[in-house]
């Protein structure tokens, strides 16, 4: 399969039904994408597929053929959301953080509080109670 992964062309030889999550973690050595439940409930494995957030544990590799894919590693380290999550306590244990930040990227700039709540409803966080995540996104 061919895809654009974090802005770079990649060619991968993987089973078409392999979970995209495992392709990223095992075949591409991108371990920033996390597995929390393996059933599409927690959002820890969120990546952006052609700009839209998907649970990579539910996406077979074949679906990403020809797509633009972004993982947390593709965001670099200086994105305004990344900095805001550190400054405002949006990241505690950090296991939901990569997925949470990518879901927030998909909301676009300056989302309303309601848009954040709805947009992140598929990303579970057990540490923060979400308030610090809202503050991080709104102040990014």
Partner 1 sequence: MASRAAKAVGRNVLRKEGHAKVTGAARYIDDLTFPGLLHARTIRSTIPAGQIAKVRFKGDRAGFTLVDHHDIPGRNIVALIDDDQPCLAERAIRHVAEPILLLVHEDREKLRAAEVQIDYRPSTPNYDPETSAIAFKSIAIDKGNVDEGFAAADVIVDGEYRTGLQEQLYIETNGVIAVPGHGVAGGDDGITVYGSMQCPYYVHRALMILLGLPAEQVRVIQTETGGGFGGKEEYPSMIAGHAALAALKTGRPVKLVYDRVEDMLATTKRHPSIIRHRTGVTRDGRLTAMDIDAVLDGGAYATLSAVVLSRGMIHAAGPYRCDHVRIRGRATMTNTPPNGAFRGFGAPQTQFAADVHMDRIAERLGLDPVRVREINALRPGDTTATGQRLGADSSALRVLREAVKRTDFKKRRRALASSNGPAEAGRHTPARGIGLSLFFHGSGFTGAGEVKLASKASLALTGRGARIHVASTEIGQGTRTMLAQIVADALGVPYEHIDVNAADTGEVPDSGPTVASRTCMIVGRILQRCAEEMRGRLGSLTPRQYLRKFGPLTITKQYERPAGMVWDDTLYKGDAYGSYGWGCDVVEVEVDRDTFEVKATAFTTVHEIGKAIHPTLALGQIEGGSAQGLGYALLEDVVMRDGRMTNATLTNYIIPTSLDTPPMKVVLLENPYPHGPSGAKGVGEMPIDGPAPAVINALRHAGFDLREIPATPEKIMAVAS
Write down the least CB distance from residue 133 to partner 1, Å: 8
Write down the least CB distance from residue 134 to partner 1, Å: 8
Q: Select from 101, 104, 105, 140 the one that contacts partner 1 (CB under 8 A).
A: 101
Alpha-carbon gap, residue 91 to 100, rounded angstroms: 9
Q: Is 8 helix (H, G, I), strand (E, B) or coil?
A: strand
Per CB under 8 A, contacts with partner 1 among 60-89 are 71-73, 75-77, 81-83, 85-89
124 scored as a contact of partner 1 (CB under 8 A): yes
Site string for partner 1, 21-60 (x = CB under 8 A): ----x----xxxxxxxxxx-xx-x----------------
Q: Please report how many Cα atoms fall inside a 13 Å half-sphere around the Cα of residue 99, on the Cβ side.
A: 27
Alpha-carbon gap, residue 8 to 46, rounded angstroms: 19
Q: Tell me 60's DSSP state.
A: B
Write down the least CB distance from residue 120 to partner 1, Å: 5
Q: Which is nearer to partner 1, 66 or 118 (CB)?
A: 118
Provide the sign of the torsion angle of the four alpha carbons 124, 126, 127, 129, taken in this order: positive
Alpha-carbon gap, residue 25 to 6, rounded angstroms: 14
115 scored as a contact of partner 1 (CB under 8 A): no
Show the tokens assigned to 17. Answer: 């039904």
Write down the least CB distance from residue 37 to partner 1, Å: 4
Q: Which is nearer to partner 1, 68 or 83 (CB)?
A: 83
């Amino acid at each position: 399969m061919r895809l654009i992964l974090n802005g770079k062309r990649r060619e991968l030889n993987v089973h078409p039904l392999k979970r995209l999550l495992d392709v990223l973690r095992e075949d591409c050595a991108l371990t920033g994408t996390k597995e929390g439940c393996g059933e599409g409930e927690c959002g820890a494995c969120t990546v952006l597929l052609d700009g839209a957030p998907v649970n990579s544990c539910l996406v077979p590799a074949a679906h990403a053929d020809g797509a633009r894919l972004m993982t947390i590693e593709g965001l670099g380290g200086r994105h305004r959301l990344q900095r805001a999550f550190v400054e405002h306590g949006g990241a505690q244990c950090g296991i939901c953080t990569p997925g949470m930040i990518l879901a927030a990227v998909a909301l676009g700039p300056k989302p309303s509080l309601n848009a954040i709540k709805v947009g992140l409803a598929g990303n579970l966080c057990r540490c923060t109670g979400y308030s610090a995540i809202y503050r991080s996104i709104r102040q990014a």
